[in-house]
């Protein structure tokens, strides 16, 4: 059993690895048998050693194409990890500053607060989602982001990154920067900041700052190998069905939401803007490599102090919904109350996921990093999906 917030047993690698594999296998096999997921790649590392790795099910059910360890997935919000790390690399290089106003790089990005006043939005506000921005999928169909023609980064939109950010700035903020928290398109704005700070397209900047130092080639804003890309499925109450090319996926757990506007074809669209919050494609192995670099202290990407900054809760005293019991650092959630989160993870665990069906967490207490990629949206995503919840409980015994 891994350490949780309430116990401290000793760790026996051989016995525990065998038991861990059996428990995770049972979760995956049950989900496949019950047709709750179509395919999955699950990786777990303990103290830098892979203790579990399995690919199971179908990358394309209708074509009979099996999922493999190197299957590529549309990453949705998993993209935020890569872009947030890229921003922090620039902070350590002195090309960005966490508490500098975003207008240093985007002079026209000055959205007004609800009272009409204009306050500086900082890089820290954006990375922690405390800027007062929102997402279109959190709104009804006639919400302000939809009226402004703003893309959430997962649809087909005839808009550049620069124009999308301009439209975001034209909509009043939900709150004054730094006073509250709301999951948002802030990482897309950070993407444009990165472009201005590096004088590179975002895809090239992320590749240079994050992927190349780790020797990773599968992940980016374009599909590295279309034949390895998983088809998209969605769980809407029955067995996952294959997604149509363009969909609006209802989100029953968000009151008043129109739903997620998603397009499978976006991954193949050479003209699609680089959405820092949702637009990347990649493999589970690449994500594990990035997370393990952070867990081990950051090299060759960041210093230990840079990782510590990312893992420091920026939202003390603020309740984050739908992440009860969790705070938010600079790019991902940080567990502050296991009871409120209904989680066996220890305090301080990092976690995020993605709407196409992904989840990941890093448990510093146990030296544990877990990545779960599926091609079944909602069911496989964290928060909210039954599959990642089952995996977590299996891992902690």
Q: Look at the chain and count its residues.
A: 397
Nearest residue to 187 (alpha-carbon basis) of 85, 268, 270, 108:
85
In 3-state terms, what secondary structure has residue 391? helix
* 102 secondary structure, DSSP code: G
Check: CB of residue 315 under 8 Å from CB of residue 128: yes
- 77 catalytic residue (yes or no): yes
Q: Is 238 exposed, middle or buried (0-12, 13-18, 19+ CB in 10 A)?
A: exposed
Contacts of 162 (CB under 8 A, 6+ apart): 192
Distance CA(155)–CA(360), nearest Å, equals 24
Angle at 83 between CA 78 and CA 86, to 5 degrees: 140
Distance CA(130)–CA(157), nearest Å, equals 26
Contacts of 62 (CB under 8 A, 6+ apart): 231, 242
Distance CA(41)–CA(67), nearest Å, equals 8
In 3-state terms, what secondary structure has residue 313? coil
| Beta strand residue intervals within the chain, DSSP E | 39-46, 49-60, 65-66, 73-74, 233-234, 241-242, 246-249, 260-263, 281-282, 326-328, 333-335, 350-354, 358-363, 368-374, 376-377
Q: Sign of dihedral through CA atoms 210, 215, 219, 223?
A: positive
Which of 76, 77, 84, 263 does the annotation list as catalytic?
Answer: 77
- Residues catalogued as catalytic: 77
């Amino acid at each position: 059993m891994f350490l949780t917030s309430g116990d401290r047993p000793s760790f026996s690698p051989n016995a525990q690895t065998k038991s861990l594999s059996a428990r995770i296998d049972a979760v995956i096999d049950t989900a496949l048998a019950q047709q709750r997921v179509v395919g999955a790649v699950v990786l777990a590392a303990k103290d830098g050693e892979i203790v579990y790795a399995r690919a199971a099910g179908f990358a394309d059910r209708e074509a009979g194409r099996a999922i493999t360890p190197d299957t590529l997935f549309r990453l949705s919000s998993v993209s935020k990890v890569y872009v947030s790390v890229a921003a922090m690399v620039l902070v350590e290089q002195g090309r960005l500053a966490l508490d500098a106003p975003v207008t240093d790089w985007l002079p026209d990005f000055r959205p007004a607060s609800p009272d009409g006043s204009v306050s500086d939005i900082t890089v820290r506000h954006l990375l922690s989602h405390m800027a007062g921005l929102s997402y279109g999928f959190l709104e009804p169909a006639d919400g302000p982001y939809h009226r402004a023609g703003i893309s959430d980064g997962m649809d087909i939109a005839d808009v550049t990154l620069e124009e999308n950010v301009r439209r975001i700035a034209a909509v009043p903020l939900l709150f004054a920067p730094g006073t509250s928290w709301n999951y948002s398109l802030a990482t897309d704005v950070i993407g444009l900041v990165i472009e201005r700070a590096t004088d590179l397209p975002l895809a090239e900047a992320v590749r240079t700052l994050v992927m190349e130092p780790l020797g990773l080639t599968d992940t980016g804003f374009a599909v590295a190998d279309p034949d390895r890309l998983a088809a998209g499925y969605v769980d809407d109450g029955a067995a996952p069905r294959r997604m149509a090319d363009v969909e609006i996926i209802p989100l029953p757990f968000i009151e008043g939401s129109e739903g997620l506007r998603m397009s499978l074809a976006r991954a193949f669209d050479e003209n699609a803007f680089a959405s820092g919050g949702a637009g990347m494609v990649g493999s589970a192995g690449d994500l594990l490599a990035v997370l393990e670099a952070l867990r081990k202290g950051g090299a060759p990407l960041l210093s230990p102090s840079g990782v510590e900054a990312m893992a420091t809760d920026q939202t003390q005293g603020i309740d984050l919904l739908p992440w009860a019991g969790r705070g938010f650092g600079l790019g991902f959630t940080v567990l502050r109350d296991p009871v409120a989160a209904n989680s066996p993870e220890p305090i301080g665990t990092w976690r995020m996921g993605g709407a196409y069906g992904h989840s990941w967490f890093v448990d510093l207490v146990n030296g544990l990093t877990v990545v779960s990629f599926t091609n079944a949206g909602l069911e496989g995503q964290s928060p909210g999906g039954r599959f990642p919840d089952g995996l977590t409980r299996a891992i902690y015994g």
